[in-house]
Chains A and B, each alone.
Chain A
């Protein structure tokens, strides 16, 4: 049950489900449409958190029978996020779907949940991306939650992404550290972090993954010394499954890279982000996403919980 594409995720979620999902602020039509279809496909049964009156009105409009689901009437965004997290902690639901609420409320609740467990500092965003040119899904993490990830934080970010991929059926996902080592010998923090991470890996501190040689796409795709010649000659299967961002800016821009040239070299790219490290997965569609896109987010939530 290896998930190598979003299409496969959609297909397999129906066999794995139904799971229960906390929907944090469900009072939105596109989200309810997605939940209706996800329920019909056997992915997930929602617990709907938000403005109860509005949720019931919208559900009726789209003929979504929600009588068998719990509806929790909470208007305050922070309280809704907290409630959604509590439900997963108490075992009533399996994962979180961020609905019509600003990200930081949910991240705060997840960080609190993580800190209660005592040993973790990092909640990170794993951006799963499908590029037309690649034969498989890749992940970029952290996609922009941890402000200045140091060695320790990066170790947690790797562990959490590897854990996610193991849920997706990867026995030993390949991890690639990214840094701008380019033969100029400047003392980059990203490079020294990478050296420490490799030492830790060699001592067995990062079980369940394969840390790839190299620090850049050129290293991974062309080998340590190679120069780009023709794109047709590149073996794209050599790209690692998981790319570890050297810093906040890279993570943030890399996961939205298609914005730069959406109509030219990045048409057809697909992306879904899963928040990990809070002890539970949270899928976070963006507000402008259509219900079809949100259904895939729900499928990924099912598969990662």
Chain B
């Protein structure tokens, strides 16, 4: 099982270099990162230029589809343009409803990783999309070697409250898990108090097998998830690693809240994942 960022980098380095298609960099951040990743033995960058941005994006996606490269990197392309290019039908890489983003954080005191999702893509997911986001997260946990990830479907309290739709949805997800419609163990609704401490959960009369040992925090909407990730990063000064899930070819994004070290981790994760999804 992968328990920290160092192991992510080591495992990716063992897998050898991956060919990464990227729009030719315009920023120092992206060009420096590519140099670092190459130096770290993770990638061989394939810079694509010529033509306007949509043409460049179409070309790198075609390269991935044809197997000329192993991974894609957003580079300096706009987030919207890049995701649109990935999800157009002709690209054959992903459907927009199937995409979700995971942010991983290290808990050194417990020697393990936690994930929160969806930190970037789906805005106010409906039930079907929530199931997709969870399936993506559970699949990702499997890549880290976590067989039955413990997932907290978060809301604002541990009880179902019809005025708070996220609590109702969380209860449905938990029931689906109980009936084995989802892999892993999903419990909900849980508030952050109960999810993060077995003791506090017990004090509220809650016997929960995930309380205090959560691998995946599932947050109900983007306003909560993106913005909570920002608090973890900026106010906790905690480095995230990120993964875009739901794509046929591993893809590395370039979000504002990730440093170039995070991008290195993202690339390592994508590299590890590329082994899993090779035909």
A binding-site residues for B, Cβ under 8 Å: 131, 133-134, 144, 147-148, 178-180, 182-186, 188, 190, 216-218, 221-222, 226-231, 234, 246-250, 252-254, 256-257, 259-266, 288
Which B residues contact A (CB, under 8 angstroms)?
A: 29, 78-80, 83, 105-110, 114, 120-121, 123-124, 154-156, 163-164, 166, 191-193, 195-197, 203, 217, 219-228, 230-238, 254-260, 262
**Cβ contacts under 8 Å, A249 to chain B:** 154-156, 166, 219-221, 223-224
A264: contacting residue among B109, B256, B257, CB under 8 A:
B109
| Beta-carbon contact of A216 and B227 below 8 Å | yes
Q: Which of A179, A180, A261 contacts B107 (CB 8 A)?
A: A261
In the complex, chain A residues whose CB is within 8 Å of the CB of B237: 133, 231, 265
Chain B residues near A144 (CB-CB < 8 A): 156
Task: Assess whether B228 is in contact with A257, with CB atoms less than 8 Å apart.
Answer: yes
User: Is the Cβ of B260 less than 8 Å from the Cβ of A180?
Assistant: no
Q: Give, as a whole number of angstroms, the nearest-CB distance from B153 to chain A.
A: 11
Q: Given A228-B258, A249-B156, are A254 and B227 also a contact pair (CB < 8 Å)?
A: yes
Return the 9 tightest CB-CB contacts between A and B, nearest first: A265-B236, A180-B226, A246-B223, A249-B224, A259-B196, A263-B109, A252-B156, A180-B222, A217-B230
Bound-complex Cα distance A280 to B89 (A): 57
Q: Min CB distance, B212 to chain A, in Å?
A: 10
Q: Is the CB–CB distance between A182 and B234 below 8 Å?
A: no
Q: Is the CB of A261 within 8 A of B193?
A: no
Task: Determine how close the nearest CB of chain B comes to the CB of A208; give it in whole angstroms.
Answer: 25
- Closest A residue to B82 using CB positions: A183
- List 29 A-B residue pairs with CB atoms under 8 Å apart, sorted by A's residue number: A147-B164, A180-B222, A180-B226, A184-B121, A185-B80, A186-B222, A188-B124, A216-B230, A218-B256, A227-B29, A227-B256, A228-B233, A228-B257, A228-B258, A230-B259, A247-B221, A247-B223, A250-B223, A252-B192, A256-B193, A257-B192, A261-B114, A261-B238, A263-B107, A263-B110, A264-B107, A264-B108, A264-B110, A265-B237
Known: A178-B227, A262-B196. 18 other contacts (CB 8 A): A147-B163, A148-B163, A178-B223, A182-B226, A183-B80, A217-B227, A227-B258, A227-B259, A228-B257, A228-B259, A229-B260, A230-B259, A250-B224, A253-B156, A254-B231, A260-B114, A261-B238, A265-B232
Which residues from chain A contact B234 at a C-beta distance below 8 Å?
A: 217-218, 221, 228, 234
B232 pairs with A247, CB closer than 8 A:
no
Q: A259-B196, A260-B192, A260-B217 are in contact. Are A183 and B78 (CB under 8 A)?
A: yes
In the complex, the answer to whether A247 meets B259 with C-beta atoms within 8 Å is no
A186 & B197 in contact (Cβ 8 Å cutoff):
no
Determine if B235 and A184 form an interchain contact, defined as CB atoms under 8 angstroms apart: no
Within 8 Å CB of B108, what residues of A? Answer: 264
Q: Are B192 and A256 in contact (CB under 8 A)?
A: yes
Contact across chains for B193 and A260 when beta carbons are under 8 A apart: no
Which residues in B have their C-beta under 8 angstroms from that of A263? 107, 109-110
Q: How far apart sit A252 and B224, CA to CA, in the bound complex (Å)?
A: 9
CB nearest to B214 among chain A residues: A260
**Which residue among A144, A185, A250, A263 has the maximum number of chain B CB atoms within 10 Å of its CB?**
A250
